[in-house]
Every structure is written in structure tokens, then in C-alpha cells.
Structure 1
Amino acid sequence: MTTTYVEVASAEGVWTQALHLPVAATVGQVRRVLTDAARTWPVAAFLPGKGNESVEDVLLYRDPSRTYGTPGVSACDAAVRALVSVTGWTTVDDPSPFDVIVGLGLREGYEVGATRHSPDEVDGHLHAIRRTGWRCYTARLVSARSVGHAVRWYAEDGVVVEAERRLLPAVRAAALGCAQHRYVVTDVTAQRTYALQRATAGARREERAVRHRR
């Protein structure tokens, strides 16, 4: 049976917010800021660049979760206002011209020493379907979420794909090629945000539950 992905969580509407740092910061400095923000609001973000390169821009988005819920758009806007007020970071009103935004990791699974793939592999899957109508750039994929009395931080190098909606099959093929367990689609055209997970018995049960609630 062909391996694929199933939808395991979703939220109506879309929300992203680009931020610019007036002074480039280290990844560690940005981590401290986002970890502090995550004490009251779950953070999911892309930091353009790779490894320990300095951070000049941040793109925030929503990551749907059946376990922890998904903040509404108004809550996200309020969190950004609070973040900007204490950091001096500025909001950038420059929405993507594409239909969908997806972050893909390049490491197989979550183990530090696991096999890593290259951004060129993702480019190849997109090129195989269409040479235009998309862009792909390297970024640190980060998240910070309050769990119990601590904030859980996760970060890995990956890519951000912005593309026409018809290229979603190529994005899925790239995710499979890089052995990604889960990824989130911000679908501007459909006004939906949803998480896809590799099809397992448990993931299929979650997909049925998501469909039942619609």
C-alpha cells in the first residue's frame, strides 16, 4: 500500500504574521523571546536562514493541534501586539502572493543524528510538476509550547514552500521523499489551516474524527 498523509487536525481561517528585527539577533536570543511568549500563546515560526546564521526576520503561523487546541486569529493578533511591544520588532504587512504556505523539515524523524535531505530534493519534486508558480527557501522551523510548568522548544533546519494550490501533490511527494512525519498547510485560497500526518492506523482514526466534526 502506498504511503501517504492524512489530515489529523485543522482550524478554520488562516493567519500568518511576518516580523522584522531592527537589529539581527542570534538564534539563542530569538529562542528566549519566543519561549517567553509561548508561556501564554503557542508559537510556530519560520526563521529564514539555516543553522546558527543570525536572524533578521520571523514568519509566525498557526499549527493546529487536537491535543492543545489552536488559537484564534484575534488571540494571535493580540499575542503579536504584546510581542512587538516588548521587543521592538516590527510587523511587516507583505502577505505571500501564493495560495499555500508549508514548512518541511529535512531530517528523517526527530533524532538528531538521523539522515538529512537537501533543499534541492524539495526543489526537484516541485520542478517535476511545474517550473513556475512556487518558491522555496531555507529556514529554521521552530515551535514553543507550554506543557505543564515548562515550555517545550523544537527547532530544525528545513525549507518553506510557497506555491500555487495545484502543487500540493508535489509538496506531499517532497514530504514523503524526506520522510517527514507531519507538516502543516496554511491554505490561503481555501481559508483553512490543517496538519497532515503519515498514514498509520492511529492517524487514520484521527482523520475520521476530523471529518466527523465538519
Structure 2
Amino acid sequence: MPTASGYVEVATAADAWTCSMRLPAMSFDSVQTILKNLARNHDWPVNALIFGGADEPVTEIELHRDPSVTHGVPNVPRCWAAVRRLAAETGWITSPRNAPSRGIMVGLGLRKGYDPGAPQYEPSEVTSRLATTGTERTCHTARLVSARLVSGKVRDHDEVGVAVRGQVDLLPVITELAYRFAQDRFVVTDFTGRRTYAMKRRSRG
């Protein structure tokens, strides 16, 4: 159903799956290469939040799912199987932190459109807007990374963004920010509704 803010839900998947992993301090490029190899070697679509700034060593990532109209989405058992392979190949450790039973998580990009040279918004613009809501939430800087094997080649994407967690009533504010930042789409992991869905900006005209 189209939203008043200009986004429409285009793909959904049952359940709300995420997995946090701890790793020894590594460069972003090294982590991205490992994740691209996971997509290439095991044909598993990687979607990850890599926490920290672009020049900071990476010590934590959070894997999640991104439902695709074209490619579908792996089920939760397949996701856990991919995590076990990744842990066995790298020594990375799954975090003991349990997924919340309620609320939502959204990885929100901060670059306007897909052009790497496009203007980029600041994480502070998100935190300052969220601060006006008066609702409990967290917001952390993260690189949004994806990698998928398509016709024998890895198609990947990354951009600076933020990982936002909060209650479901925070979604209209997140959607407002996505529209302001000219985001084509974003994914909501909905722990309350036990589902994961993609929101796409409606075509103009």
C-alpha cells in the first residue's frame, strides 16, 4: 500500500532475522572483500551494516536480509548456514546479543542516489531529527554493504549510512528522512511484526 510520504512496500519476507558478529580489528576494505567472497563462493546475498566511520578499524558487523522483487530472499535457516560458514572461514564470532522481540531496525543510506560522487548527508542530521521524537531509539554510523552473485559475477554496493533501532512508531520519521535524502529504497527489519520488507520510493509523475 503506498504511503503518504511517497514510498511503497515492494517486497516482504516472513520473520525478522539479524546476526551480529565480532571480529578482530580489520580495515573496511578487508571486511568488504571477505563478504564479497562469501557471496561469490556460497551464492548467498550479503547485506551487512559495518559499524564505524570509513577510516576506523572494523570490529563489528550486523548481517540482515533484503527482500528483492527480482531475486527473492533466503530463508532464515539458509542465513544461519551462511553465518556458520563465514565463522568457520574467518574465525569471526557471533555476538551473544539476542535479537529484540519488538521494534524495528533500518539501515538508512546517506548518499543522494547511487552515484558515488553524489552529495552525502551527515549522520548528525539523522540524530538531530530523531532527538525531536521523544521516543527511545539508537542510531550508529555504519557502512551499508551488499553483495550478490548475478550471472556468475558479484554485484556489490556500499555507502555511508546509519543503523537506526527503535519502536515501530519511529518508522514515519525514518521514512521522512529517507525521502529527504533521496533514497530510492530502504529495508525494515520488523521484530514486532516478525517480518522484513523493502520500501521503494514511488515514481514521480
Task: Using structure 2 for the length normalisation, give the TM-score.
Answer: 0.92
Of residues 38, 46, 49, the one that matches 2:49 is 46
Runs of 5+ consecutive residues of structure 2 not aligned to the other structure? none
1:180 and 1:121 map into 2 onto residues whose CA distance is 15
Deviation at 1:41, TM superposition (A): 0.4
2:155 and 2:55 map into 1 onto residues whose CA distance is 20
Deviation at 1:3, TM superposition (A): 4.9
Instruction: Give 1:212's aligned residue.
Output: none
Instruction: Give 1:13's aligned residue.
Output: 15
Aligned counterparts, 1:167-182, within 5 A: 167-182=170-185
Deviates more, 1:168-177 or 1:185-194: 168-177
Instruction: Give 2:116's aligned residue.
Output: 112
Deviation at 1:72, TM superposition (A): 0.1
Instruction: Give 2:137's aligned residue.
Output: 134
**Contact 2:18/2:99, CA 8 A, preserved across alignment:** no
Aligned AA (2:105): I
- Counterpart of 2:131 in 1: which secondary structure? helix
Of residues 155, 167, 189, the one that matches 1:186 is 189
1:164 and 1:151 map into 2 onto residues whose CA distance is 35
1:183 and 1:49 map into 2 onto residues whose CA distance is 20
Aligned AA (1:33): I
Runs of 4+ aligned residues of structure 1 deviating over 6 Å after TM superposition are none
- Counterpart of 1:107 in 2: which secondary structure? coil
Identity %: 45
Aligned counterparts, 1:26-105, within 5 A: 26-39=27-40, 40-97=43-100, 99-105=103-109
- Considering fraction of residues, name the structure with more helix: 1
Deviation at 1:86, TM superposition (A): 0.8
1:179 and 1:124 map into 2 onto residues whose CA distance is 18
Instruction: Give 1:4's aligned residue.
Output: 6
2:147 and 2:55 map into 1 onto residues whose CA distance is 18
Of residues 133, 151, 154, the one that matches 1:151 is 154
What is the RMSD computed on CA atoms of the aligned residues? 1.6
